[in-house]
Amino acid sequence: MEETLHVHKIRKRFDRIFFISLFILCLILSYDFNVKNGKIPYPGVFYVDKANYYVYLPFTFIYGFDIHKFPDKIDIQTRGFTLDFNRNKLVTKTTCGLAILWSPFFLLTHALATLFHLQPDGFSDFYAKMTILPAVFYLVLGLFFLKKFLEKYFDRIIVYCTIILIFLGTNLYYYSIKEGLMSHDTSFCLVVMLLFLTKNFLDKGKKPFRYFVAICFIISFIVLIRPTGIVVLLFLLFLDTHSLKEAGNRLLFFLHPRYLLTFILIFLLVYSPQLIYWHYLTGKFLYFSYPGEGFYNWKFPMMIPIWFSPLNGLFLYNPVAILFIAGCIIMIVKKIPNGIFITAFFFLIGYIFSSWHSWYYGGGYGSRPFIDFYPLLAIPFGFSLAYFRRRKNLFIRTSICFLILASVYYNNRMMYLGSNTFEGSTWSWDDFLPKLNAAKLYKYQKTSYTFIQDFENHIYFTPEPITRECVHSHSIATYFDSTMDINCKYTWRLEEILVKPVKRADVTLWINPSKMDKTGASLVYSIEDEIHIPHFTGTCNFDDFNTRSGQWNKIHTIIDIPDRIDQYCKITFYICNNKRTKFFVDDMVINFD
């Protein structure tokens, strides 16, 4: 007995030292990246989505809801929220859940900035530097509760290996250390706390009502941060269930008026600041704050790309995440509870995420919405590690350990040295290989290069207008109409395309005439020197092909580049709408060799 107590004390002391040390280390890492590497001052920190999440705080606590008091042109500099001076309204599309959870840290920052005269405007260097604090706090708190949750399933070795590998081997590291003002590490923390409380609530014979109250608050904040988080309600029904009948009984239990009314009241309480803001903004308590955006891909979800595409695919950027799937398979085969549920849940969230109009979540790294649900996926991850740990074959165990460590190394090299924003199309492998080269993971010699433009990556890559009305592949194409004469213009310097002189360009694209078979349009190509003197030009007339309206038609041409052309010249391609007709364009491919 005394020996058991002694071991327990040692373990508690180790846990305390580990998480305190982790907190300090993460603060140092985050400070090193965000401060020393030039992301501060803004717009490096307060920028686009991050500015949207954050702006509620200075708007409420510094400027008293008066946008005229904001720093001059701050909305233009941050490129996130909008200051509507005509109506004296702050317009931000994100909800206020993160701002509420960050408010204690913001108030501390503002108090210090005021006390020490550190430009207390909510956007100065000091505020930017202090943003690393809530990000690291919620990260470490989430990992702490993940440890407590996983201890109900695994021994300490598996638990610690799981939390360390998920932190270091996935994009959780990126979105807590490098992009902490995004929502993901905070949502990660809330989801793992929900799992921990739900597990404790369900496992107790006499279920403490205070646990349920805490569960309601956490669910409400998860949904307030990201409405798709409503799927966490499935945790209450299916976590650790053995049959659908057991899940049905749970549903009846939670539909009891005592629990149902408590949840509704707490949810409305937590959501009330958002409802008040929407009423202030629009005069309505309910408002869709993402105009022009939505789940446009319900019928044709981009599930394969969201997992494997070089455009932020989950497994391609986080190869250690394969253990999520391996663990699900192990759990199903061995009939371990949660196996079917977690597998179904993984496909469900994959379907939801891939149905969003920007399924690659522009500017992201490794399919970032999955981070919120890593706590649940940590269960099959742990079962994978436990399964491989029990293998008696030393070679197999060593090989698996090597692959896991190699995956962690790969992930960190990509995060620190590779360009995090992918400026290519869905399957542009020739645009992904330079990222590996930059990360010193693969020596890439560009002896050939294939440019692919499928128009999916329309936020960071494509200036063309987009349409979902008529597409050849995936969900987006571009188009011409009577107001447009030139579109799809791309330029490269020849010497930057390949490591050898470019001799040929093989061009393929697809067009769909809207009303008439003939469009009168053409593909134009030109090679010019640095003072824009053309040395080689040509056209490929679309009417030379047997095009038909209302269907997709393939256009193909081969361009042989004369040897006399200096490789310092630039080659330009564009489509010219000579007769100002309406037609659609998709899947342009240019192979250089």
Instruction: Give the containing element (helix H, strand E) for 192.
Output: helix 184-203
**What average pLDDT does the segment 385-410 reach?**
94
Q: Would strands 522-528 and 504-513 be described as parallel, antiparallel, or unpaired?
A: unpaired
pLDDT of amino acid 541: 96
Amino acid of residue 311: L
Peptide bond into 58 cis (omega under 30): no
The 8 Å CB, 24+ separation contacts for 438-444 are: 439/410, 439/413, 439/414, 440/413, 441/410, 441/413, 441/414
Question: Which residue has tokens 């128009």?
Answer: 455
**What average pLDDT does the segment 210-237 reach?**
96
Question: Phi and psi (nearest 5°) for 132?
Answer: -70, -20
pLDDT of amino acid 70: 93
319 three-class SS: helix
Nearest residue to 59 (alpha-carbon basis) of 87, 79, 81: 81
- Which comes out higher in pLDDT, residue 417 or 241? 241
418 three-class SS: coil
How far are the Cα atoms of 40, 73, 304, 427, 551 from residue 359, in angstroms, in the given order? 29, 31, 11, 14, 26
pLDDT of amino acid 212: 96
Least confident of 144-158, 201-215, 331-345: 201-215
Q: How many CB atoms lie within 10 A of CB 307?
A: 18
Q: Label residues 475-499 b or e (16+ Cβ within 10 Å = b).
A: bbbbbbeeebeebbeeebebeebbe
> Hey, what's the torsion of the CAs at 441, 442, 444, 448, to 10 degrees?
-120
What tokens were used for 93? Answer: 């599309």
Mean pLDDT of the chain: 92
d(CA 368, CA 352): 13
Q: Would strands 89-91 and 82-84 be described as parallel, antiparallel, or unpaired?
A: antiparallel
What lies within 8 Å, CB to CB, of 337 at 6+ separation is 240, 241, 242
Q: Domain boundaries in the chain? A: 2-38+133-413, 49-130, 449-592
Query: Does the pLDDT value for residue 2 go beyond 70?
Result: no
d(CA 120, CA 109): 9
Instruction: Give the containing element (helix H, strand E) for 83.
Output: strand 82-84
505 three-class SS: strand
pLDDT of amino acid 165: 97
State the DSSP string of 424-440: S-TT-HHHHHHHHHHTT
d(CA 419, CA 11): 40
Kindly state the DSSP code that residue 400 receives in the 8-state scheme: H
What lies within 8 Å, CB to CB, of 145 at 6+ separation is 189, 192, 193, 196
Per-residue pLDDT tens over the stretch 423-472: 889 999 999 998 898 888 988 888 899 999 999 987 655 668 889 989 99
Kindly state the DSSP code that residue 55 receives in the 8-state scheme: T
- Contact between residue 314 and residue 370 where contact means Cβ atoms under 8 Å apart: yes
Instruction: Report residue 218's pLDDT band, with 50, 70 and 90 as the boundaries.
Output: very high
Amino acid of residue 363: G
Peptide bond into 41 cis (omega under 30): yes
Least confident of 41-50, 92-101, 272-281: 41-50
pLDDT of amino acid 462: 60
d(CA 459, CA 425): 11
- Contact between residue 143 and residue 19 where contact means Cβ atoms under 8 Å apart: yes
Per-residue pLDDT tens over the stretch 122-171: 999 899 889 999 999 999 999 999 999 999 999 999 999 999 999 999 99
What tokens were used for 591? Answer: 């192979």
- Contact between residue 380 and residue 165 where contact means Cβ atoms under 8 Å apart: no
**What average pLDDT does the segment 101-120 reach?**
95
How far are the Cα atoms of 81, 94, 357, 528 from residue 291, in angstroms, in the given order? 14, 12, 12, 42
Share of the chain above pLDDT 70, in %: 97
Query: Does the pLDDT value for residue 418 go beyond 70?
Result: no
Instruction: Report residue 79's pLDDT band, with 50, 70 and 90 as the boundaries.
Output: confident
How far are the Cα atoms of 14, 146, 201, 447, 459 from residue 194, in angstroms, in the given order? 25, 10, 10, 52, 34
- Please give the CATH topology (third level) of the domain spanning 449-592: Jelly Rolls (2.60.120)
Instruction: Report residue 89's pLDDT band, with 50, 70 and 90 as the boundaries.
Output: very high
